[in-house]
Amino acid sequence: MMAKGFWIARVDVRDADAYKNYVAKNGRAFAKYGGRFLVRGGAFETVKGEARARNVVIEFPSYQAALDCFHSPEYQEALAEQKGGADVDLIVIEGYEGPQPGEG
């Protein structure tokens, strides 16, 4: 089975108005590429290092789909709405399918 792909994003919003327009549009790209929110906000504690206020993990059917989503015209159009309204750390990463601790 093909490994899934993920976005891991950490965001500090600086301009809520600009960011709001981005959020209103990005669902279109996520829907097209099969993105599903595994984490969207939610309670968290910073137990080590630095954190940002908004945290997101989005699952895609494959690593390639996760990359394609970011580069899609739909997502780039949404992203243009941010207009520097947020500080964002975002990685697109391949899922892990190997053995888990305590198994086998």
- Interface with other proteins (CB under 8 A): 13, 16-17, 19-20, 23-24, 26-28, 30-32, 40-41
Q: How far is the CB of 92 from other proteins (least distance, A)?
A: 19
Read off φ and ψ for residue 85, nearest 5 degrees.
Answer: -80, 0
DSSP string, 50-97: ---SEEEEEEESSHHHHHHHHHSHHHHHHHHTTTT-EEEEEEEEE---
Nearer to other proteins, 74 or 94 (CB): 74
Nearer to other proteins, 10 or 32 (CB): 32
Task: Output Rg (C-alpha) for the chain, integer angstroms.
Answer: 15
Helices 73-80 and 63-71, interaxial angle, to 10°?
50
Nearer to other proteins, 16 or 51 (CB): 16
Q: How far is the CB of 59 from other proteins (least distance, A)?
A: 15
Q: How far is the CB of 44 from other proteins (least distance, A)?
A: 14
* One-letter amino acid of 81: E
Nearer to other proteins, 31 or 51 (CB): 31
